[in-house]
Amino acid sequence: MLLEELSWPAVTAIAKDLPVVIPIAAMEQHGRHLPLFTDSMLLGEVVRRAALALGDHVVWTPLLWLGNSHHHLDFAGTLSAAPRTYLDLLRDLIDNLVGHGFRRVVLLNGHGGNIVPAQQAVFEARQHYHERDDLLLLAATYWLLGAKPDVVDPTIVQNRMGHACEWETSMILHLRPSSVGDLIATEPVSMGMPFEPASQGWITKERSEPGHLGDPRRATAQKGQALFDVFAQDVVTFLERVIAWDGRSWKV
Ligand SMILES: [Zn+2]
């Protein structure tokens, strides 16, 4: 069910135990070979597939294409909300939906820079509504829901998300090959950080001159198909857990 297609009386009439999912992505540089809208295109496709599978059991808001991408602003074309602005934006959206009576709100994320603000937004919102015992506020990132694409398809080399990498380039190759630039000209860039496991403040240009992290030359459209299959299935399985929640208890 798409929120944007409903009238306000229809929203008033909806069962408020239906999960409302806010897909959150970005508009930022993705190396020399992929378009700025990569994260929004990829999450949009994961959502399209999951929505087909889940039918009227989930309400989807429009995808929020503006993300926290300040670490990419040294590259032309990136549009970004600063981390605190973005946190407030997500908090406002959660408050809007809780105000309309919804009790299960999910931030479904498709961009690395949104992970911390999304987690903080649901945490802060839960503190704000601490007197409620009927709310489920969740932040989830589609590639961190447990899927192991490199196990499902052993031709996939990369085992975690990079940036404009084997995974993302493969998915764009599957979705819209005409949007992929010259892969032969790309060089592999390390995805590691020197001070792991510490969390290091970073900007993209100090890690990568072209802007990507990983090895885009390994990308194929066939890998992209496999990646979409596992990620969409993971999102469906996760949202089925949200649908099945009993509305009250803390169960692990
Ligand atoms: Zn990306």
0.95 exceeded by the pTM?
A: yes
- For the segment 5-14, the average pLDDT, to the nearest whole number, is 98
Let me know: does 32 contact 211? Beta carbons within 8 Å. Answer: yes
Do residues 26 and 118 touch, judged by C-beta distance below 8 A? no
At 249 the pLDDT is: 84
* Centroid of ligand 1 to alpha carbon of 10 (angstroms): 35
- Taking ligand 1, which is a single-atom ion, which protein residues have CB atoms under 5 Å away? 38-39, 168
pLDDT-derived band at 251, boundaries 50, 70, 90: confident
CA atoms within 13 A on the CB side of 64: 22
Amino acid symbol at 81: A
**C-alpha–C-alpha distance, residues 42 and 175, integer Å:** 8
When the pLDDT of each residue in the chain is averaged and rounded to a whole number, the result is 97
Task: For residue 38, report the distance from its CA to the centre of ligand 1, in Å.
Answer: 6
pLDDT mean over 134-140: 98
What is the per-residue pLDDT across 37-73, written as a single tens digit (0 to 9) for each?
999 999 999 999 999 999 999 999 999 999 999 999 9
Q: Quote the ligand 1 centre to 13 CA distance (angstroms).
A: 37
How far does residue 11's CA lie from ligand 1's centre (Å)? 33
Q: Which residue has the tokens 């407030």?
A: 88
Q: Which DSSP helix (H) or strand (E) runs through 136?
A: strand 136-141
Rounded mean pLDDT, 216-222: 98
First to last CA, the chain: 29
Q: Give the integer Cα–Cα distance in Å for 41 and 19.
A: 23
- Stated as kind and residue range, the H or E segment containing 152 is helix 149-152
What are the tens digits of pLDDT across the range 96-121? Answer: 999 999 999 999 999 999 999 999 99
